[in-house]
Structure 1
């Protein structure tokens, strides 16, 4: 009876040892995962700092634009009309130049296609 009890106790100890080995492996895996999570958090902290700096820059620029808009709204009618006319002219000029470039590229491409058809 004592031999059987000793054998049972030894088996229980072996089972517990195996379980402890598995627990140790799990703890080791969790340790490596926590290191990776820490590294990821460090990288994201840097990205958040960069984003914060970019937001500060955008905020500063937006403040400047808002001040300019406020200045425009306080102009007398003649000056406001002149400013808006100038803005329209600049936009129209930009669109015209952009459209002209597209038309030139299209005509160049069309000329190549006609030359291929003639040959």
Structure 2
């Protein structure tokens, strides 16, 4: 495979990922409606997992959770690696938008045990 072919393939893959996870435009040759449906499904799956990992964020978003998470997902070209990072990023996004108070630092179990 030539270097130019690899570059074109990489760009096409980047556009496909953006269409699936961030609502980007469908690359040439792909059915827009099917990509839109798959994208909505992937965002819903992420939202459900994030809500289980960070119920405080889901509670802060309230009835607008679906809309808030969709806006959060569209604001990124790709999700962070790992659901925990995605959940924490969503919570930080809510904090930045004034929808959720900043979390207090959690004390680790070992620091609580050594305290008088």
Smaller-chain TM-score range?
under 0.3
Between Structure 1 and Structure 2, which shows a larger proportion of helix residues? 1
* Structure ranking higher on relative contact order (CA contacts 8 Å, 6+ apart): 2
Asked which structure has the greater CA Rg, the reply is: 1
State TM-score, norm by structure 2.
Answer: 0.27
